[in-house]
Every structure is written in structure tokens, then in C-alpha cells.
């Protein structure tokens, strides 16, 4: 028997094609999306504006399948972390960060990450596989379902969980389509952010394909240092990355800017000189800088820069006219802060073995 189609894998265009093949009108897509994403009804029998015949057909050939939740942890500051089972002993993590006027969900796009940035816990886990559209989409649905009782919901989504979203392009684009789609989540493009460590060809495609916000994990302004911290820099050095950033900034019809993330590592990338280099690199660019105090994890020898050093770094950027903010660490007590997401990854790259030896 043919495997059932999980409808969480389909954006509106793919749903249109799916219903067309069944001889149905395209407005069925909108009806179905409303049931799933707005009303949270996942039982075809309850979708009463679909004909009885269509409901029976859907039961035969389609499903709305969620991965299983392993655990849900609440941090003291209101952050919620879900650990989700992706099969074959792989777990991924999703984090909700409530603020006064919004609630941001940090979602994962891969089981682990193959890029091995030296300061990142996910990088230490190695890589198993890409998540499907449904597996990424389900993270947002799961969060909204759980938050409903407390009167909260996901208002912003950032691809800053486990994995490099630009190495899982198709699924990530489909998810962006659904997040922006008025019949699904209806978020504005400013409220959906892809964060990438700099997969240049993918960033150029992304610029045209999905009109969402972009964050670049820069962490160093010179190739020597960035090669060390973000190894993909050896393949796509800073000059090429900046070219891709310009493609992004010039694409689309609305004004765009880029958020540059910079993890503050004591004695590594946090001197006044480093700040000057960063300011020079970003001058004349529509850029904002987000300084992230390093969050430690067991395998790492790095230390976080002092508050004073971070302030001094930030002041140098300010003095050069660069908009800069420092990210407040959230959810640390349940290991939910940036870079602490380890999940459970059956590593196929064997990198984690090599590191342990």
C-alpha cells in the first residue's frame, strides 16, 4: 500500500496540486489549512465543510502526523523547552521565549548539525539528517497547542534551534511559506527569521525565494579567526558572504536589513580591535549587530566575555554608528539558551567520536 501523505508536509501550492489530483477545487486547500493551523482540528471526520466523500478519501490516503514529545521543561524565566522524538534514537529541541509583547519560538531544522562551529553544543553532537517540512511545522503547532491554555501563542519564529537551515532549503522554504500564509499562521515577514552561518549559494537563492528576515552568524570579522570559529568560512569566506548579504539586501520590494550575530568569547573575539574590524566590515551596510554572551556547555573550553568587555565592545560599534544590542540569556536553567541545544543525535559524521578520543 502507498504510504499516506502527511498533509503537514504541504504548503498551499502543494496542497492545491494534491486536491487537483483528487478532482477537487483549489479552495479545499484553504479550508484544510484553516482546520489544521487555525482551528487545530486534526481529525478529518470533524472537517465538516469538506464533503463526506472527500473526508473518506482523505482518511484513506492522507494523515496529519506529529512526532512524539519526549518532555516539556519550564525554566524559571518562563522559557519552555520541548524535546521531541524524531525516531531512531534522535531527539531535537524547540524553545519558546515569552516576552511582554510577543512570544518567540526557536525551531530546529536538522537533527544535529554538520558544520561544527567550535562554540556550539549542537555542532558537537554531529549530524544525523534533515527534518521534513512536517517535522519542522509540527514544532510550531505543538507550541501553539500547549500555549493555548495560558492565553499565549507564537508570534515570532526564528530558525535558531538545532541545525543549519540553509542546508535544508526545501523544507525550510515550505515552512516559511506556511508561516507567512494567511490561511495558516499569517505572520508578517519581519516576524520570521532564518539564521545562517553563511551557506553562500543557498543564501542567494533564499533572497529571492522567501521574503523573511535574515540573521547571519558572523562571530568574527577576519577570515583567520572566522575559519577557526565557523569552519564553513573556509569554503565561503567573508568576502563572498558579504556579497551574498548584498544580494539579500537588494532583493524584494521592501526595505531589508540583516542582523549579524556575534557570540562573545573571552579573549578570542572580544577586543577593541575586533570591534573596530567588525565596524569596518559592516559600515555602509543596512546592518544590526546582536552580541550574544557565550553560553557554556560541558564539552567546551571557551568562556564568556565579562559584562564590562561586552559593554566596551558595544560602545565601539555605537561610536561607529552601528546599531547594536546585547542578547539577554534566557532559559539557561533548562539548557535552552542559544547554543546549548544538544538534543540526542545519532551522529553519522563520526565527528563526535573523533572529538571524544
Strand ranges (E), the chain: 5-6, 62-63, 68-74, 80-85, 91-98, 103-106, 110-112, 127-130, 156-159, 192-196, 213-217, 258-264, 287-293, 323-326
First to last CA, the chain: 46
29 makes contact, choosing from ligand SF4, ligand SAH, none, with CB < 5 to 8 Å by partner type, with none
According to the binding rule CB under 6 A, does residue 195 interact with ligand SAH?
yes
Catalytic residues: 93, 338
Q: Give the Cα separation of 331 and 230 in Å (integer).
A: 24
Q: Give the Cα separation of 271 and 293 in Å (integer).
A: 14
Q: Which residues bind ligand SF4 (CB under 6 A)?
A: 113, 115-117, 120, 122-123, 163-164, 197, 217
The binding track of 95-134 with respect to ligand SAH, each residue x by CB under 6 A or -, is ------------------x-----xx--------------
User: How many Cα neighbours within 13 Å face the side chain of 303?
Assistant: 6
Nearer to ligand SAH, 6 or 91 (CB): 91
Nearer to ligand SAH, 11 or 195 (CB): 195
Q: Which of 50, 203, 206, 263 binds ligand SAH (CB under 6 A)?
A: 263
Q: Give the Cα separation of 25 and 206 in Å (integer).
A: 30
116 makes contact, choosing from ligand SAH, ligand SF4, none, with CB < 5 to 8 Å by partner type, with ligand SF4
Residues 43-82 that bind ligand SAH (CB under 6 A): none
In the chain, DSSP finds a helix count (H) and a strand count (E) of 12, 14
CB of 168 to ligand SAH, least distance (A): 10
CB atoms within 10 A of CB 183: 17
Residues 270-309 that bind ligand SAH (CB under 6 A): 292, 294-295
Nearer to ligand SF4, 6 or 197 (CB): 197
Confirm if 88 and 119 have CB atoms less than 8 A apart: no
**Contact positions toward ligand SAH, by CB under 6 A?**
113, 119-120, 160, 164, 195-197, 217, 261, 263, 292, 294-295, 338-339
Amino acid at each position: 500500500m502507498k504510504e499516506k501523505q502527511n498533509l503537514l508536509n504541504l504548503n498551499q501550492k502543494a496542497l492545491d496540486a494534491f486536491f487537483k489530483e483528487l478532482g477537487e477545487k483549489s479552495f479545499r486547500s484553504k479550508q484544510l489549512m484553516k482546520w489544521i493551523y487555525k482551528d487545530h482540528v486534526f481529525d478529518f471526520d470533524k472537517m465538516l465543510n469538506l464533503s463526506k466523500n472527500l473526508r473518506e478519501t482523505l482518511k484513506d490516503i492522507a494523515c496529519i502526523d506529529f512526532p512524539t514529545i519526549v518532555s516539556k521543561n519550564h525554566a524559571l524565566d518562563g522559557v519552555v523547552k520541548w524535546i521531541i522524538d524524531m525516531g531512531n534514537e534522535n531527539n531535537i529541541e524547540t524553545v519558546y521565549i515569552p516576552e511582554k509583547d510577543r512570544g518567540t519560538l526557536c525551531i530546529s531544522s536538522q537533527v544535529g548539525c554538520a558544520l561544527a562551529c567550535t562554540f556550539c553544543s549542537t555542532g558537537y553532537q554531529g549530524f544525523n539528517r534533515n527534518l521534513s517540512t512536517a517535522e519542522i511545522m509540527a514544532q510550531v503547532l505543538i507550541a501553539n497547542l500547549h500555549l493555548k491554555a495560558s492565553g499565549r501563542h507564537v508570534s515570532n519564529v526564528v530558525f535558531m534551534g538545532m541545525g543549519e537551515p540553509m542546508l535544508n532549503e526545501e523544507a525550510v522554504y515550505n515552512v516559511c511559506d506556511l508561516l507567512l500564509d494567511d490561511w495558516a499562521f499569517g505572520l508578517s515577514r519581519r516576524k520570521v527569521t532564518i539564521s545562517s552561518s553563511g551557506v553562500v549559494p543557498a543564501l542567494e537563492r533564499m533572497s529571492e525565494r522567501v521574503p523573511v528576515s535574515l540573521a547571519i552568524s558572523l562571530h568574527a570579522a577576519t577570515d583567520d579567526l572566522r575559519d577557526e570559529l565557523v569552519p564553513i568560512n573556509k569554503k565561503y569566506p567573508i568576502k563572498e558572504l558579504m556579497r551574498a548579504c548584498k544580494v539579500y539586501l537588494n532583493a524584494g520590494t521592501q526595505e531589508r536589513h540583516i542582523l549579524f550575530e556575534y557570540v562573545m568569547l573571552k579573549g578570542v573575539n572580544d577586543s577593541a580591535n575586533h570591534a573596530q574590524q567588525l565596524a569596518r566590515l559592516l559600515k555602509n551596510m543596512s546592518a544590526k549587530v546582536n552580541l550574544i554572551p557565550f553560553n557554556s556547555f560541558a564539552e567546551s573550553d571557551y568562556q564568556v566575555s565579562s559584562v564590562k568587555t561586552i559593554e566596551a565592545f558595544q560602545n565601539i560599534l555605537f561610536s561607529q554608528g552601528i546599531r547594536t544590542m546585547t542578547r539577554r540569556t534566557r532559559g539557561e536553567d533548562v539548557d535552552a539558551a542559544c547554543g546549548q541545544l544538544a538534543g540526542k543525535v545519532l551522529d553519522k559524521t563520526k565527528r563526535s567520536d573523533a572529538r571524544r578520543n
